[in-house]
Structure 1
Amino acid sequence: MDSTSTPASSSPAPALSEDILTLPNVLTILRLASTPLLGYLVVQGHMEHACVLLFVSGLTDVLDGWIARARGSYTVFGSIADPAADKALMTVMVLALAYRGLLPASLVALILGRDIALVISAFFVRYRTLPEPKTFSRYFNPRLPSATVTPTQLSKYNTFLQLLLVGGATLLPITPEWFQEASQTPWNMYMALVAITTVWSGLGYLGGGGSAKFLGNKAREVAAKRFKGSKQDKS
């Protein structure tokens, strides 16, 4: 959907006031909730348990996308929550791995710096597209969407590479010592690749790569009216 006006009776309108507790969204929420435990396991050096939980977390990420496509249960909340859960996992894991000395601080700073810039940009887009009145409760209400988030193809590749980075850094400490020594040079080259794609994808976002699609004026008006109506029904 683009930023042009969309008739209130068109097919996208019913999704504007949506049920966020779909199975894909529940899996996303569970993945987000398990992230602090995963970080704790890494910090405490329980790398075997961390590998298992990281695998389960990655599996839920695959499943929620597959179920959403199979059932056609796409939601605006999911378009925001799914990448947010990925970023939360990435943030916690790179910090925990850096704390254990398993990732260089410079690479961690690069990854987090890009994500912070994108978060600030997302807050600006949300404020810009939110229907009047712009209140705190309306701003953070997931049932009142004003834009959908669509990752660029390069960003998807970068996210995949970062997840492999986190997985590799978590797994390497429990591999045989000879393997750790033999993989040192390829691992350093891989970290350089992650750094390059992180910068490149970040510049693509900030340069107007089309990461956000604004809902049309009519669509935002429909969402605002439905939100107002739901509040009146509860009163």
Structure 2
Amino acid sequence: MVKLSHIPNAITSIRLLLVVPIAFFIAEESHCIALVLFAVSGLSDGLDGFLARQFGWVSTFGRLIDPLADKLMMVTTTIVLGVLDHFPIMLMLLIVTKDLAILGGVFSYTSLAGFPKIQPNLLGKLTTAAQIILIAMVLVDLCMANILPEQLFVSWYWLVAVITAFDGVYYLGIWTARLADDPRWKETM
């Protein structure tokens, strides 16, 4: 029997599984299908966290897999869109570099000091939301034959670039401070 407390993790796992079909449909230029799947993925990102917090179903698995699913979705979709020339390469590189650096920081910290307590913060949530909105806008525009004005994209590209850069610097500071304060890290020096 499935426990209700596993619902948020199931939703997150489904979101993780949607990464490949979304990338496939973008690559095949089936943008409307990719948009629908991406919308389901984006909405599920909020739903799983809401359910976990609302009903006390927060789990270690969820704390680990939810941000991983977010990062994998953003990295994969921005790479596919960037390679197909539907997304600015420099913004793609910024998003990919920031997300890989964060994942690398978590894995490095884990190998040196054990699994960290990961606390989502407002800047990280805003960054993820802005990136989801931008990817959705790109997919809407591709699906609807350039329906959105170019200036809207320019504004969102800059907004996402600035927020993503600040988010990356913020996380770099957090992980650096954590390692500097951790006696196990000091022993390795």
Same fold by TM-score greater than 0.5: yes
Q: Which residue of 2 aligns with 1:27?
A: 11
The question of 1:147 aligning with 2:116 is answered yes
Contact 2:123/2:167, CA 8 A, preserved across alignment: yes
The structure that has the greater radius of gyration is 1
Name which of 76, 90, 96 aligns with 2:74.
Answer: 90
Q: Distance between the aligned counterparts of 2:155 and 2:175, measured in 1?
A: 27
Query: In proportion to residue count, which structure has more helix?
Result: 2
Which consecutive unaligned segments of at least 5 residues does structure 2 have?
Answer: 179-189
Q: Distance between the aligned counterparts of 1:30 and 1:127, measured in 2?
A: 28
Residues 70, 38 of structure 1: alpha-carbon distance in 2 compared, 3 angstrom cutoff: same
The question of 1:161 aligning with 2:145 is answered no
Contact 1:43/1:99, CA 8 A, preserved across alignment: no
Which consecutive unaligned segments of at least 5 residues does structure 1 have?
Answer: 1-18, 131-145, 213-235
Deviation at 1:186, TM superposition (A): 2.2
Q: Percent identity?
A: 28
Contact 2:35/2:143, CA 8 A, preserved across alignment: no
Deviation at 1:210, TM superposition (A): 9.5
Higher relative contact order at CA 8 Å, sep ≥6: structure 1 or structure 2? Answer: 1
Name which of 63, 79, 103 aligns with 1:119.
Answer: 103
Q: Residue by residue, what CA displacement relative to the aligned partner does 1:49-80 show, whole Å, maximum 9, x if unpaired?
A: 11111111122222211211222011122111
Deviation at 1:175, TM superposition (A): 2.5
TM-score by length of 1: 0.70
Contact 1:27/1:60, CA 8 A, preserved across alignment: yes
Q: Secondary structure at the match of 2:129?
A: helix
Q: Secondary structure at the match of 1:149?
A: coil
Deviation at 1:211, TM superposition (A): 10
Q: Secondary structure at the match of 1:207?
A: helix
In angstroms, what is the RMSD of aligned CA positions?
2.5
Residues 211, 188 of structure 1: alpha-carbon distance in 2 compared, 3 angstrom cutoff: farther
Q: Distance between the aligned counterparts of 2:49 and 2:107, measured in 1?
A: 24
Deviation at 1:174, TM superposition (A): 2.4
Q: Secondary structure at the match of 2:174?
A: coil
TM-score by length of 2: 0.86
Q: Residue by residue, what CA displacement relative to the aligned partner does 1:124-156 show, whole Å, maximum 9, x if unpaired?
A: 1111223xxxxxxxxxxxxxxx32211221111
